[in-house]
Amino acid sequence: MSETRVRFGPFGGRYVPETVIGALDELAEAFERYREDPAFLAELEGLLARFAGRPTPLYRARRLEEAWGVGPIHLKREDLCHTGAHKINNALGQVLLAQRMGKQRIIAETGAGQHGVATATAAALMGFGCTVYMGRLDMERQRLNVIRMRMLGAEVAPVTSGAGTLKDATSEAIRDWVTNVRTTHYVIGSAVGPAPYPDLVADLQSVIGREAREQFQADEAGGLPATVVACVGGGSNAIGIFRAFLADDVRLVGVEAAGEGLESGRHGAPLAQGAPGVLHGSLSYLMQDRDGQVAEPHSISAGLDYPGVGPEHSHLKESGRVEYASATDAEALQAFLDCSRAEGIIPALESAHALAWVRDAAAAAGAGTGPLLVCLSGRGDKDVEQAGAALGIDDG
Amino acid sequence: MAEGAQRLEAAFAAARGAAFIPYVMGGYPDAAASAERAIQVAAFADVVELGVPFSDPLADGPTIQAAGQAALDAGTTPETVIEIAAEVARVGPPVVLMTYVNIVLAAGPRAFCERAARAGVSGLIIPDLPIDEGDEIRMQATRSGLAIVPLAAPTTTDARLAQIGRAGAGFLYCVSVTGVTGGSVEVGEELRGFLERARRHVSLPLAVGFGVRTPADAADIAAVADGVVIASQLIRLADDAGDPTAARTAVDEYCAAVVERIRATAGAATPGS
């Protein structure tokens, strides 16, 4: 049996109330058992192929290369997954696991609403009742996803504590789980939280990197990308694509949200500006004040509006294996527009942060940057209202 | 040095019926008022539990969350609460601080434990620090003479209860329900069964908290445990009273009623440990 990773260097762990320790043990056991169980894996692969639409294509973005003077650029099209983002990979795997564990109810937190929609979808598919916790502010800025979740039969529970964003929704989901732990499985949406979640989510998302690596080698005569780029909020799409390249001589870049600028303090960049601390059950880089109170993050993208990050990323930062950069709201918005107009692909604002790095940092380095593999983690349908307003193209 | 643990165990041993452990959120509604409240309840208490507010309190329900957020909004820092703890410790029973692990890590385990011990604090309750985490915090607490009071829940297995018993000091904080603070407790089969298991595997005194609302609840728990923690209900009482004078009266009357009911259980059944 594969051992679940509890710690990544000094990071990770299980900093949770005693009430849920038994449930974490149970989940770790189920994960270890089913990750190598042929029947389970066959069922999951079947769902990923016939329900979620995997494998997602690897697409060469030639007009962006031309516009930005950099390339080749290969986009891993997670935006083409059913429900619009990579989140479905994790949701299907975890809800299937919950079914095997005999749980009766599913809960989740959501920021942008993509994980909430993915979980509500998986719950509908497998016949579970589902409650999704979502911050008040996020419910406003991601209204369409709120409606989608309700259409799928999920209850969307508004969270008013704090700033009403992903951090607060996650805390409230954990409180629900502490209360209903015997019957309920908590589908955490990113590679964060207490062990075994970071390893479980990374494992379920590693399909992104496995596919992308094979597809890249097929397209580029067996070669490897020079650089792999992904946005990092909690960091599940990034760890999902990075894991396939950790052992290779490939530059790995995670792009955090610089919000209104790192110096403004209004950002979502714990790896750049935070310090190790404990939030939501694991030790990792965290935006916090000197007393240890967690800071309110800011990003134009609800999915990156989180003060923490998955523990494996903290470890990869300290080991130096992955570089962590950042892109501001304005830079992401410009890349969002560039990609839409050059390629006919409206990316999620989250994914636009990875594209912004390609345009600015890779373009500055010029020729020799080599082939880039970018994880286009989701599509921007959910962002039309907000981006439309920010770009001044909404008549409403 | 294990002075903190000894002070706590002595307080339980001296309590008639069961130990009364009221909780006060440090800095709520402001530093001065919470200091007064802590001194007030200390007159009734066997142990006083003081909350150090944290921005993201996972184990707390809406009442304590809101009080903690208000305390932070009023500028409360860990040092504010430790100064209140020092005042209480000078005049009253042993004081334990209830906070979350990131507060201790941010200050540095050594600095935090030494500062708390200097203020006369006897122990720390850290609900997001299960026994498998926080070796450095445990070591520094032991060096400073602070007890790390462990928690156990109805979902805790027998094997883990035994481990918790070996790792903890002072008393065992038994979470009455699977849930967060501020709900409501029922002394039924589940809680009795849990406490019996805890009694078999842990030699520390057993205090029960989470969801204790009425003096009758407190008496029911005193009949089966060694201590009763009351937190959210005290905050609600003061909040609902309207003005500070009415709050003071309401808290006095409530604490007196709780103590009377708890003491009346002395001699009835002796759960003793």
**DSSP secondary structure string, A74-115?**
EEEEGGGSGGGBTHHHHHHHHHHHHHHTT--EEEEEESSSHH
Contact A173, A180 (CB under 8 A): no
> Look-up: residue for tokens 């051992």?
A3
Residue B197 has pLDDT above 90, yes or no: yes
Contact (Cβ atoms closer than 8 angstroms) between residue B25 and residue B34 = yes
Q: Which residue of A has its CA nearest to B53?
A: A293
pLDDT greater than 70 at residue A391: yes
Q: How confident is the model at residue A367 (pLDDT cuts 50, 70, 90)?
A: low
Which is more confidently placed, B240 or B183?
Answer: B240
pLDDT reading at A156 higher than 80:
yes
CA A313, chain centre distance (Å): 12
pLDDT at A368 over 70: no
Give the distance from CA A225 to its chain's centroid. Answer: 21
Q: Which of A282, A299, A314, A377 is catalytic?
A: A377
CA of A298 to nearest chain B CA: how many angstroms apart? Answer: 16
Rounded Cα gap, residues A146 and A132, in angstroms: 9
Indicate the SS3 state at residue A30.
helix
- pLDDT score of B171 more than 50: yes
Which residue has tokens 């007030």? B40
ipTM value of the model? 0.95
Residue A1: the pLDDT is 45
Instruction: Determine, for residues A18 and B130 on separate chains, whether the beta-carbon distance falls below 8 Å.
Output: yes
| Coil vs helix vs strand at B23 | strand
d(CA B247, CA B249): 5
pLDDT of the residue at B1: 43
Interface test with B, best of A291, A294, A306 (most B CBs within 10 A): A291
Cβ–Cβ gap B155/A278 under 8 Å: no
What is the pLDDT at residue A229?
A: 98
Alpha carbon of B266: minimum distance to chain A alpha carbons (Å): 30
Instruction: Say how far apart CA B25 and CA B37 lie, in whole Å.
Output: 9
DSSP letters of A296-352?
PP--SSGGG--SB--HHHHHHHHHTSEEEEEEEHHHHHHHHHHHHHHHS--B-HHHH
Q: How many CB atoms lie within 10 A of CB B63?
A: 19
Are B19 and B47 within 8 A, CB to CB?
yes
The distance of B240 to chain A (nearest Cα, Å) reads 21
pLDDT of residue A148: 96
Confidence of residue B268 (pLDDT cuts 50, 70, 90): low
Q: Give the least confident one: A275-284, A381-390, B206-215, B261-270.
A: B261-270
Nearest to A18 among B78, B107, B156 (CB): B156
Chain B residue with CA closest to A168: the answer is B56
A18 touches chain B (CB under 8 A): yes
Report all structural domains of chain B as residue ranges with CATH numbers, in order of start: 17-265 (3.20.20.70)
Active site residue A109: yes
* Kind of pairing between the strands at B147-149 and B151-152: unpaired
| β-pair partners for B167 | none
What are the strands of the beta sheet with A184-187, ordered from one edge? A155-159, A129-135, A105-110, A184-187
Question: B136: left (phi > 0), else alpha (psi -120 to 50), else beta?
Answer: alpha
Rounded average pLDDT over B141-156: 96
Q: What average pLDDT is seen over chain B?
A: 95
- A315: contact with B, CB 8 A cutoff: no
Question: Using one digit for the tens of pLDDT, what is the confidence trace for B90-116?
Answer: 998 999 999 999 999 999 999 999 999
Strand, helix or coil at A58?
strand
How far apart are alpha carbons A162 and A55 in whole angstroms? 39
Cα A172 from Cα A166, distance rounded (Å): 10
Active site residue A340: no
Residues in chain B with CB shorter than 8 Å from the CB of A16 are 58, 128, 130
Instruction: Note the pLDDT tens digit of each residue in A257-295.
Output: 999 999 999 999 999 999 999 999 999 999 999 999 999
Residues of chain A above pLDDT 90, percent: 87
Nearest residue on chain B to A179, alpha-carbon basis: B179
Comparing A242-246, B186-190, B199-203, which segment has the lowest mean pLDDT?
B186-190
- Minimum mean pLDDT among A129-133, B114-118, B171-175, B262-266: which range? B262-266
Say if CB B176 and CB B208 are below 8 A apart: yes
Q: What would the pLDDT profile of B2-35 be if each residue is shown by its tens digit?
A: 699 999 999 999 999 999 999 999 999 999 999 9
Residues 6+ apart with CB under 8 A from B71: B25, B26, B27, B28, B29, B34, B51, B53
Measured between beta carbons, the chain A residues lying within 8 angstroms of B104 are 292
Residue A386: per-residue pLDDT: 86
Q: Write down the mean pLDDT value for chain A.
A: 95
Please report, rounded to a whole number, the percentage of residues in chain A having pLDDT higher than 70: 98
Q: Which of A4, A11, A14, A15 has the highest number of chain B CBs within 10 A, making it the mutation to test binding with B?
A: A15
Number of inter-chain CB pairs under 8 A, A vs B = 113
pLDDT by residue (tens digit) across A165-215? 899 999 999 999 999 999 999 999 999 999 999 999 999 999 999 999 999
d(CA A107, CA A193): 14
B271: pLDDT confidence band, cut at 50, 70 and 90?
very low
In angstroms, what separates the C-alpha of B216 from chain A's closest C-alpha?
Answer: 24
Give A-chain residues touching B177 at CB under 8 angstroms: 179
Chain B residues interacting with chain A (CB cutoff of 8 angstroms): 54-59, 61, 65, 69, 72, 77-78, 100-107, 127-130, 132-133, 150-157, 160, 164, 175, 177-180, 183
Three-state DSSP state, B208:
strand
Q: Which of A227, A192, A196, A195 is nearest to A313 (CA)?
A: A192
HSE at residue A146, side-chain half, CA atoms within 13 A, is 15
- Chain A hits for B155, CB-CB cut-off 8 Å, are 18-23, 181-182
pTM of the shown model? 0.96
Residues 6+ away with beta carbon under 8 Å from B224: B187, B191, B192, B195, B208, B269, B271
**Cβ-Cβ contacts under 8 Å, B210 against chain A:** none
